[in-house]
Chains A and B, each alone.
Chain A
Amino acid sequence: AQKVTQAQTEISVVEKEDVTLDCVYETRDTTYYLFWYKQPPSGELVFLIRRNSFDEQNEISGRYSWNFQKSTSSFNFTITASQVVDSAVYFCALILNYQLIWGAGTKLIIKP
């Protein structure tokens, strides 16, 4: 089966804490892309990152960082020094056969 699992349904932290959102995927393909999207309360999805299966370098963009580990089929997302504006639902996705396979999402709540 080819799928994306986000085991954390909801995470709640206090502002300025670091938080990691987990994503585990399954695929038999050797070439694939992984994605993270953010869905704020307004509903519109915002693209955050794309990572191809041959590039295992971790990526950092400001307070956001991504840890891709092919050996464990994981693509985790860390927010450092979280802010209230980071509150949203975050989706991990995998492209396969030209379709995005979506995880169920993790709702992140950042309390002031």
Chain B
Amino acid sequence: DGGITQSPKYLFRKEGQNVTLSCEQNLNHDAMYWYRQDPGQGLRLIYYSQIVNDFQKGDIAEGYSVSREKKESFPLTVTSAQKNPTAFYLCASSMSVAEGEQFFGPGTRLTVL
């Protein structure tokens, strides 16, 4: 089955630690995205990647970093510089960035203690 996987579903970390969230897709999509969602809020774009080895900052990139070494994978690192990292993180992919139909993973709920 084609789709997007994110792991783990729930993640707990101590304040001051970096943490990496995994996102893998087998849809052969060129574009991938990371969003943050806070309780009762909409989605905010953190980073997106149009193609392997390329990525651009979204609206709230500060305190986050990404890499795109493989087409299938787009991991997100939440660094200690991110002031309020506790949130729900969603990864998505699409055929291209011009193709707005994005497919989403199940999300990772990160809690920083």
CB within 8 Å of B: which residues of A? 33, 35, 42-47, 50, 91, 93, 95, 98-100, 102-105
**What are 17 of the A-B contact pairs (CB < 8 Å)?**
A33-B100, A43-B88, A43-B109, A44-B105, A44-B107, A45-B90, A45-B104, A47-B103, A50-B101, A93-B100, A95-B98, A95-B100, A98-B98, A102-B42, A102-B43, A102-B44, A103-B42
A92 to B101, CA, bound (A): 12
A91 to B103, CA, bound (A): 14
Q: Does B45 contact A (CB under 8 A)?
A: yes
Q: Is the CB of A35 within 8 A of B107?
A: no
Interface size class, chain B: 20 to 34
- Closest B residue to A98 by beta carbon equals B97
Q: Is the CB of B102 within 8 A of A100?
A: yes
Contact of A42 among B41, B98, B106 (CB under 8 A): B106
Q: Does B48 contact A (CB under 8 A)?
A: yes
Beta-carbon contacts of B83-113 to A below 8 Å, as 1s and 0s? 0000010101000011011111111010000
Q: Does B58 contact A (CB under 8 A)?
A: yes
Contact of A99 among B41, B48, B101 (CB under 8 A): B48
B31 to chain A: closest CB distance in Å? 8
Q: Is the CB of B43 within 8 A of A47?
A: no
Q: Is the CB of B106 within 8 A of A47?
A: no
